[in-house]
Structure 1
Amino acid sequence: MTHLPQTAARPAGDSGKPKTRDPFFDNAKYLAIVLVALGHAWEPLRDDSRAASALYMLVYSFHMPAFILISGYMSRSFDLGRPGRVQRLVTGVLVPYVIFETAYTFFNRWAGDVPGYRISILDPWYLTWFLIALFVWRMTTPLWKAVRWPVPLALVIATAASMSDTVGNDLDLQRVLQFMPFFVLGLMLRPEHFDLVRRREVRLLSVPVGLMAAVVAYWAVPRMNAGWFYHRDSAQELGAPIWAGPVMTFAMFGCALVLTVCFLAWVPRRTMWFTVLGAGTLYGYLLHGFLAKGSRFWGWYDNDFAHTPLGAIAVTAIAAVIVTVLCTPPVRRMFRWTMEPKMNWLFRSDDGGGRGGSPAAEPAKAEQTPERERATASR
């Protein structure tokens, strides 16, 4: 097993030298996307099991924030002034968004038996919200690099969104705004911050913190609306008073950061068997959505066995295996035309910032390798 440098990855553009991929980030992306798939697999089990509901709430409290934070970190070198970067943003985020929004719509018509369901590019369905959110976040990156207090400003915007029930469904704007502080925080992070997270004392402290969080989640199951974790509705839409918006925004931001630190503290720093899968998390994220929704459409959870403890374990294992397979190189080669289209015919070729179909969108690929750059798992 080859051991690569354990220092945190630096985005391309920090120097003129090629950067070695840091396995830590690929490992983190793969493990995060597995948690996304597990959360979707556990959702139908929540009504019959308080333990499943607690695990669901625990995972939902940090898995997307962690994924988005890493996406922000990998976006540090994004520059609207470099056409090559913009090209990869379009081919790696915007084009896959249109393709999968369309594919999900037809899938919903066929498998979900919703004949009248219409394609709406402005109204993301299911998992595609993340792609349009990533597009918006990246386009606003220059703003966050220019202002004095980017994270507080992003939190103020997220708080305002949580208090407004007039924010429409266009581009899933509530989620874009409420998850934005995690992306902005990622933009502000440096390699040394990740070195601190991976210290031994942090790893040891994360164990009791994680256990305490699990206990709190179990206690909160009958007392808390899980809709808060989706960040897609305002306080009023969740049946809470308007002042709950800012309170929950800050509380959940803090909780997500603590649990993200606990998660990252236990991510392996060396090359593992699944490290290579970290480059394909966008594939696993988008493709597993067809099976996650199909399992509901086709009544896979109607079997009583699925709602037993042994059945829940089986469901968990199957979900982990499926999303793992969907991140593998053969699957990526098969679907690359949908997620990494070259589209050289659409763009000028006189840019030194890179061209072709290497998207800069999926947080499954570190930006330290420009020719393979790509950045992304919920509901």
Structure 2
Amino acid sequence: AGGPPAAGRSDEPAGSDAGKDAAAQQPGRRDAFFDNAKYLAIVLVAVGHAWEPLRSDSRTVTALYQLVYAFHMPAFIIIAGYYSRSFDGSPGRIRRLVTGVALPYVVFETAYTFFTRWTDGVPDRPITLLEPLYLTWFLASLFVWRLTTPMWKVVRWPLPVALVIAMLATMSPSLGEDLDIQRMLQFLPFFVLGLCLRPEHFRKVRTRRMRMLAVPVFAGALAAAYWAVPRSTTAWFYHRDSAQELGAPVWYGPVATLAVFACSLLLVACFLSWVPGRRTWFTSLGAATLYGYLLHGFVAQVSKYWGWYDPEWLYEPLGAVVVTVVAAVVVTVLCSAPVRRVFRWAVEPRPDWAFRKAPRTAD
């Protein structure tokens, strides 16, 4: 599993795009660069959720929140698309899709429903697999995106087509909430982009010049986010609502789709330029970000229920720093080997009994 879900379970060996780690080019070996990127991104996901209760009292925290939300999920989805390039609908890959995405979706959709009945005080919240709850929307979307991979391989202009679909989605408030279809369609271009990328594309963003350029780009993006805090809504980066639902004219949806896509893509490139390509102390954790992604939501939910955000000092600068560090530590622990051993049955189930054995071929 990789992460979030299945982004790191490669259907084909991932070569080292840095050209510096020869071991990463050997078949069956994981690429440290992508595991590092996924770990750093899952930390940003957890930190973003931890910042959410602090936003109302701090313009700076809100600006940082908007900056992080502009690129952390696009980065995950692009990597998920990149690792889906070899998906062809064969029995073996369908089996991995079911065990790596569909079954965890069922388990955690059910678990989050029961858990939030308690934390949210909604005892009659129904269990439904058609309306993803909280974090599970990504699992539902990834399942559908990966199933459509063979189609994107034969389309002449896959990325423009995906962008048009996303633009049309922002104009369609009647799509409903089944499978969180707005998010599925609006995030689709990032997955399709990942399908179109090759190792050389990642090499181009991992240069010294790109790393230097990333500094003023992130600084400018943070300044723009700070300026925009009282003037706009972060909801555009959630990709879960149509333009009309956000109180904007219908024509604004397609324009915002292109603008947000360009902004997110630039920030993803800058983020990836800072990701180390060598093995580090957290590289192995990047192979287990599915655990951190799915499990940290329980911590985030219970933190509000138990009043962890009640102390007033948390809303001061030092408090925000403490919250950031705690969130990073918690999600790191959730990606660790002991946690993986405890929850492997739910995150990486192996129901071999449910599948037909592959027929033997004659020699």
Using structure 1 for the length normalisation, give the TM-score: 0.88
**What aligned pairs does 1:238-277 form with structure 2 within 5 A after superposition?**
238-277=246-285
Q: CA deviation digits over 1:260-303, x for unaligned, max 9?
A: 00000000111000000001101000000001111122221121
Pairwise CA distance, 1:111: 2.4
Q: CA deviation digits over 1:293-324, x for unaligned, max 9?
A: 11122221121111111111000000000000
- Which of 76, 93, 102 matches 1:94? 102
1:19 and 1:83 map into 2 onto residues whose CA distance is 20
Q: Which amino acid aligns with 1:166?
A: S
Q: CA deviation digits over 1:165-203, x for unaligned, max 9?
A: 101000000000000000000000000000101011111
2:126 maps to which residue? 118
Are 1:73 and 2:65 matched, yes or no?
no
1:61 maps to which residue? 70
Pairwise CA distance, 1:5: 7.8
Structure 2 runs not aligned, ≥5 long: 1-13, 20-24
Pairwise CA distance, 1:25: 0.4
- Which of 41, 51, 58 matches 2:50? 41
Q: Which amino acid aligns with 1:284?
A: G
2:171 touches 2:243 (CA, 8 Å); kept in 1?
yes
1:77 and 1:44 map into 2 onto residues whose CA distance is 41
2:18 touches 2:206 (CA, 8 Å); kept in 1?
no
- Determine what percentage of the aligned residue pairs are the same residue: 65
1:166 is paired with a residue of what secondary structure? helix
2:359 and 2:187 map into 1 onto residues whose CA distance is 32
1:201 maps to which residue? 209
Pairwise CA distance, 1:109: 1.2
1:153 and 1:91 map into 2 onto residues whose CA distance is 30
2:137 and 2:87 map into 1 onto residues whose CA distance is 21
Q: Which amino acid aligns with 1:67?
A: F
Distance 1:351 1:324, change over 3 A: farther
1:12 maps to which residue? none
Farther off after superposition, 19-28 or 142-151 = 19-28
Are 1:285 and 2:293 matched, yes or no?
yes
1:322 and 1:221 map into 2 onto residues whose CA distance is 28
Farther off after superposition, 222-231 or 170-179 = 222-231
Distance 1:242 1:5, change over 3 A: closer
Query: How many residues align structurally?
Result: 342
1:314 is paired with a residue of what secondary structure? helix
2:56 is paired with a residue of what secondary structure? coil
Distance 1:50 1:351, change over 3 A: farther
**What aligned pairs does 1:84-233 form with structure 2 within 5 A after superposition?**
84-233=92-241
2:147 and 2:255 map into 1 onto residues whose CA distance is 28
1:302 is paired with a residue of what secondary structure? coil
1:245 and 1:34 map into 2 onto residues whose CA distance is 30
Measured on the aligned residues, the alpha-carbon RMSD in Å equals 1.6
2:170 touches 2:242 (CA, 8 Å); kept in 1?
yes
2:18 touches 2:277 (CA, 8 Å); kept in 1?
no
- Which of 23, 36, 47 matches 2:32? 23
* Greater relative contact order (Cα < 8 A, sep 6+): 1
1:79 and 1:282 map into 2 onto residues whose CA distance is 23
Using structure 2 for the length normalisation, give the TM-score: 0.92
**What aligned pairs does 1:313-352 form with structure 2 within 5 A after superposition?**
313-350=321-358
2:22 maps to which residue? none
Q: Which amino acid aligns with 1:293?
A: Q
Pairwise CA distance, 1:351: 6.2
Pairwise CA distance, 1:73: 0.3
2:174 and 2:72 map into 1 onto residues whose CA distance is 27
Are 1:7 and 2:20 matched, yes or no?
no
1:374 maps to which residue? none
2:16 touches 2:199 (CA, 8 Å); kept in 1?
no
